[in-house]
Structure 1
Amino acid sequence: MNEQFWLVVQYPMKSPKGNQRDCWLRDKVMEYLEITLGEANLGYVDGFDMGKCISDPNQYALNLFCVVTDEERSIALIKRILRESRLDYTRIKIATMPFGEEGTYTLKYAAKKGDNGFSL
């Protein structure tokens, strides 16, 4: 299976640059995802951005970008790792988009029930 996907894990923030906790969370989540995706041969972390959301400049987010080969297994693994590691699992959204295509991300998981909107 050579198909790849962009996968983004999104956390809400209260300010454009985030606070000390947001920066710590960014570093820890990136570290855990890099290790677990690599060990499972599912993909890698490609980077992050922090700041204003495109769809609503009054909202701020931390976005962690990954490239994965198996969408469903990667989502399940990421959810499990963030929950077990207590890395603010109750605040995340996970969305995917086919790799190499211009388009929009499709929300695959939101920790808050009824929250079905996603934008970078």
Structure 2
Amino acid sequence: MSEKFWLVVQYPLKSAAGSQRDHWLRDKVMEYLEIALTDANLGYVDGFDLGKCISDPKKYALNIFCVITDEEQSIALVKRILRDSRLDYTRIKIATLPDGKEEPYTLKYSYKKGVTKFSL
């Protein structure tokens, strides 16, 4: 892997602990993305966090982190896998960050039109 990026897929949650369905969704999304990214030789799933948002403690989110090598191809693949697998594609945000940089994530896709900001 030459240049690496962090890619995060974010789902909004209704509570810090998440529901049983949120946990099922986390497991399925991680499983499907791990297979797709590895098969395409684009990267791998690195983990997740679940709970309060750093930027707004009254909001909750599930963040799934991936390490990728090609930003454009990986984003397209992630969107296609989540849409085709019916894994709540209509609720996601996708953001990236070059590995080793100390800057905020850059929003690359949002299910809501007009959204321009992203935070964990």
Name the TM tier (shorter chain). over 0.9
Name the counterpart of 2:101.
101
TM-score computed with the length of structure 2 as normaliser? 0.98
Q: Does 2:11 match 1:16?
A: no
- 1:116, 1:23 → 2: CA distance? 27
Name the counterpart of 2:62.
62
- 1:53, 1:35 → 2: CA distance? 28
After TM superposition, give the deviation of residue 54 of structure 1 in Å. Answer: 0.6
What one-letter code is carried by the residue in structure 2 that aligns with 1:105? Y
TM-score computed with the length of structure 1 as normaliser? 0.98
After TM superposition, give the deviation of residue 117 of structure 1 in Å. Answer: 1.8
Aligned length: 120
Which residues in structure 2 correspond to 1:105-120 (within 5 Å)?
Answer: 105-120=105-120
What one-letter code is carried by the residue in structure 2 that aligns with 1:66? C
Listed as ranges, the gaps of 5+ residues in structure 2 are none
Identity across the alignment (%) = 77
Give runs of ≥4 in structure 1 deviating > 6 Å.
none
- 1:116, 1:18 → 2: CA distance? 25
What one-letter code is carried by the residue in structure 2 that aligns with 1:71? E
SS at match of 1:83: helix
What one-letter code is carried by the residue in structure 1 that aligns with 2:41? N
After TM superposition, give the deviation of residue 35 of structure 1 in Å. Answer: 0.1
- 1:62, 1:116 → 2: CA distance? 19
Name the counterpart of 2:47.
47
Name the counterpart of 1:36.
36
Structure 1 residues 43-97: Cα deviation after superposition (integer angstroms, max 9, x where no partner) = 0000000000011000000000000000000000000000000000000000000
- 2:118, 2:56 → 1: CA distance? 11
RMSD, aligned α-carbons = 0.8
What one-letter code is carried by the residue in structure 1 that aligns with 2:118? F
